[in-house]
Structure 1
Amino acid sequence: MTLILASSSVYRRELLQRLRLPFQSRSPDVDERPLPGESPRDLAWRLAREKADRVLADHPGALVIGSDQVAACEGQAIGKPGTHEAARAQLQRFSGREVRFHTAVCVTDGQSHLQDEITTECEFLPLSAAQIEHYLRTEQPYDTAGSAKAEALGIALMARMRSDDPTALIGLPLIAVCRMLRAFGLDPLGSSEPTPSA
């Protein structure tokens, strides 16, 4: 069985490498815009499954991991900023507020889908314009949901964080992934491993 990560994210790839399992990465072509009335949590949940299913369609017989993260401030979905100006606006909005990061993951072999979502609650410090600018110039987190690159200097933006999985905020909740892989007979601690493809 070939293990595939349905993502082009370098952050998710680095996280999955921690499990020391051979895997491939494939970029899913999925429209990430929310549906009318869709909550941030439901959006993350749907996109994780769509990404896994899209890659599995091109690789039948594989075991595919799909994941998505959506930030939410006051119930509104916040995506990747893409630009310096958009990132600045996001962090100005987050200053002194709680932001929830919904990180969903789906693992499927085409016969079964296992899925979970981990919510990370982040309380941002009151941030000055100078602090925001320093952070953005240093990290350039324009490809990160909510501009919060917590695995690096972004941790300094936080007053507190609460989560059941410390890797969820980075983009792939590894505790949930390990549980799901074991359910498919693949234990990262060594009882089995997928066959690497050529």
Structure 2
Amino acid sequence: MIPSSAVPRLILASGSAYRRDLLGRLRLPFEAIAPHVDETPLAGEAPDATALRLARAKAGAIALRHPGALVIGSDQVATLDGAQIGKPGDHARALAQLRTMRGREVVFHTALCLWDGRAADPAAAAQVENVQVFVRFRDLPDAELDAYLRIEQPYDCAGSAKNEGLGIALIERIDSSDPTALTGLPLIALTGMLRRAGVAFFGV
């Protein structure tokens, strides 16, 4: 663990257990605070624009309440044929999602924002990036899809499958520059942002 004196206060603007687990891999001391931002897409807004806007809004909302901190915001939007796929919320909607996606490619836009509350110029406080993940789902029968959902119940996941769990068995291929982006927090992109903000990872 890096001593807390080595980094400024670090806050994850999220209530997601998945993102907390991912950020924990970096062994940096951090707090997690849910930003309570309205995540409704704007009319006519492109999926990547939605993800980037919400990542920035989440980080900005927490940064406003905690001056001087480094705040991480992230948002993910899944799309099929350009249409957004939200979190299913229940079994029936999740099964409908998986039926629609089987044998097809889904694009996940995972946007990231690191807001540096120490920046002298507020206009330059935020680093933002969108990491795309291309996921091809296997063409599986209804019985397998239904059985998977009853085992893992991924009703809070856009795309209705937990790739970090049993949901990986539904996936035929994943293409991305950042393997953690699909789970919700692109750590390769984030470590680059943190380095630019002066954070050291190995105590040197």
Displacement of 1:85 after TM fit? 1.0
- Distance in 2 (CA, whole Å) between partners of 1:189 and 1:175 is 16
Q: TM-score scaled to structure 1, two decimals? A: 0.94
Of 181, 184, 193 in structure 1, the residue corresponding to residue 197 of structure 2 is: 184
Secondary structure at 1:146 match in 2: coil
Displacement of 1:69 after TM fit? 0.5
Q: Which residue of 2 aligns with 1:196?
A: none
Q: Which residue of 1 aligns with 2:131?
A: 118
- Distance in 1 (CA, whole Å) between partners of 2:88 and 2:60 is 26
Secondary structure at 1:8 match in 2: coil
Specify the code of the residue in structure 2 equivalent to 1:34: P
Displacement of 1:190 after TM fit? 2.5
Do 1:178 and 1:187's aligned partners in 2 also have CA atoms closer than 8 Å?
no
| 1:149-187 deviation line (CA, Å, top 9, x unaligned) | 100111111111100011000000000000000111012
1:22 partnered with 2:7? no
Q: Which residue of 2 aligns with 1:80?
A: 87
- Distance in 2 (CA, whole Å) between partners of 1:175 and 1:190 is 19
Of 4, 11, 27 in structure 2, the residue corresponding to residue 4 of structure 1 is: 11
Q: Which residue of 2 aligns with 1:131?
A: 144
- Distance in 2 (CA, whole Å) between partners of 1:43 and 1:55 is 19
| 1:79-109 deviation line (CA, Å, top 9, x unaligned) | 1111111111111110111000110100011
Q: Which runs of 5 or more structure 1 residues have no equivalent in the other structure?
A: 192-198
- Distance in 2 (CA, whole Å) between partners of 1:189 and 1:83 is 43
Structure 1 runs of 4+ aligned residues shifted over 3 Å read none
Q: Which runs of 5 or more structure 2 residues have no equivalent in the other structure?
A: 1-7, 120-124
Q: Which residue of 1 aligns with 2:184?
A: 171
- Distance in 1 (CA, whole Å) between partners of 2:37 and 2:166 is 30
The alignment covers a number of residue pairs equal to 191
Displacement of 1:29 after TM fit? 1.2
Secondary structure at 1:169 match in 2: helix
Specify the code of the residue in structure 2 equivalent to 1:50: A
Superposed CA RMSD? 0.9
Q: TM-score scaled to structure 2, two decimals? A: 0.91
Structure 1 vs Structure 2: percent identity of aligned residues? 57
